[in-house]
């Protein structure tokens, strides 16, 4: 099979052995795979794949068609359309995924949108509702509101009754992001627009001191992105006075059981909204598998609205 390959911090497309489904796993013919910030970090050498995942084939989300099943795999049948998160290896013609992590693709989602859905909506839902415990009517600030996770978070928070504010650096994207249900502001001086009950940090550590300043009493900061940096100086007295909480997580290294739970939560809470089109998946651009290098360059250039997706099979 052909697959995007990271070698010596360079992106190429190379031939790899076809994978085989093991116990509880299915073999998926990949139709589309989204690019994410984690792929860019892996390219830079900062985010290696966990043990058991392909070490040189990136990609954390995919959509495709089941073409074979391993022993004991019976949730899906050959030919079923599926999508899900993986620890690596999504950006390939074939991928092996445990059946418990996969979800059936709603009929209303085309392959490109399905390939751009699992990682960002799982990450956003888990951060906002499972970790931060966000409630209707609370005030949410999303940093990096024009990206894949940002647009997903804005939409599902707005649908849940939150008052959403989002920072977007590119002024040309403000109106488009506001259509997802957010008041859009520039990143500079964002703390003046608080207080906020929940802050979703997708940019990185430089925002942390002002995040604390912008917190409401008993506010929560959830850090799930550090592209702008991982280290910051923080006055803990300020956090104590707010009785605030800072927590952080990554999705990729979680064990199977935890990933399966995130998939079931998405099936219950988000897939119905995608099927009804009350929530949508904005796609900034698509690239064929052979154009992977251009896709990565586009992602690195910033300034996009929504997801960049590799289309791998029709």
State whether residue 265 is helix, strand or coil.
Answer: helix
| Integer angstrom CA distances of residue 226 from 43, 266, 294 | 15, 24, 23
CA pseudo-torsion sign 211, 216, 220, 222 = negative
> pLDDT at position 188, please?
97
Q: Could you tell me if 86 and 33 are in contact, meaning their C-beta atoms sit under 8 angstroms apart?
A: no
Beta-strand relationship, 61-69 and 25-34: antiparallel
Burial class (CB in 10 A: 0-12, 13-18, 19+), 84: buried
CB-CB contact of 196 with 215 (8 Å)? yes
Q: Which helix (H) or strand (E) holds 23?
A: none
Residue 270, H or E segment: none
Give dist(CA 154, CA 201) in Å, integer. 13
Residue 192 has a pLDDT of: 97
Report in angstroms the alpha-carbon separations of 204 from 100, 142, 207.
32, 12, 6
CA 222 to chain CA centroid, Å, is 14
- DSSP structure class, residue 192: G
Q: Give the domains, in start order, of the chain with CATH numbers.
A: 2-117+253-311 (3.90.180.10), 122-248 (3.40.50.720)
Would you state the pLDDT for residue 314? 64
pLDDT digits (tens, 9 = 90+) for 79-106: 999 999 999 999 999 999 999 999 999 9
**pLDDT tens figures, 225-254:** 988 889 999 999 999 999 999 999 899 999
Mean pLDDT per 10-residue segment, the chain (314 residues): 96 97 98 94 90 93 98 97 97 98 96 96 97 97 96 97 97 97 97 97 95 98 91 93 95 94 97 95 96 96 93 83
Maximum Cα interatomic distance, the chain, rounded to a whole number of Å: 57
Q: What pLDDT score does 34 carry?
A: 97
């Amino acid at each position: 099979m052909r697959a995007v390959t990271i070698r010596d911090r360079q992106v190429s497309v190379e031939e790899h052995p076809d994978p085989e489904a093991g116990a509880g796993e299915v073999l998926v013919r990949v139709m589309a795979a989204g690019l994410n910030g984690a792929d860019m970090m892996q390219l830079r050498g900062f985010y290696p794949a966990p043990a058991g995942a392909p070490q040189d084939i990136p990609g954390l989300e995919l959509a495709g068609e089941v073409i074979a099943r391993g022993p004991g795999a019976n949730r899906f049948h050959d030919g079923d359309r599926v999508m899900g998160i993986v620890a690596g290896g999504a950006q390939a013609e074939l991928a092996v995924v445990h059946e418990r992590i996969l979800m059936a693709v709603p009929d209303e989602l085309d392959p490109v949108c399905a390939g751009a859905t699992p990682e960002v909506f799982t990450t956003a839902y888990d951060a906002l509702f499972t970790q931060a415990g966000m409630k209707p009517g609370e005030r949410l600030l999303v940093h990096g509101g024009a990206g894949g996770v940002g647009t997903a978070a804005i939409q599902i928070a707005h649908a849940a009754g939150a008052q959403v504010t989002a920072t977007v650096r590119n002024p040309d994207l403000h109106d488009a992001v506001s259509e997802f249900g957010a008041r859009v502001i520039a990143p500079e001086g964002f703390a003046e627009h608080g207080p906020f009950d929940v802050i979703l940090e997708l940019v990185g550590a430089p925002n942390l001191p002002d995040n604390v300043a912008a917190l409401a009493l008993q506010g929560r900061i959830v850090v799930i992105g550090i592209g702008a940096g991982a280290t910051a100086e923080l006055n803990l007295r300020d956090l104590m006075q707010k009785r605030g909480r800072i927590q952080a997580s990554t999705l990729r290294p979680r064990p199977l059981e935890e990933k399966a739970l995130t998939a079931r939560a998405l099936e219950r809470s988000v897939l119905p909204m995608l099927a009804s089109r009350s929530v949508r998946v904005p796609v900034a651009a698509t690239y064929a598998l052979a154009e992977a290098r251009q896709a990565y360059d586009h992602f690195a250039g910033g300034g996009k609205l929504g997801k960049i997706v590799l289309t791998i099979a029709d």
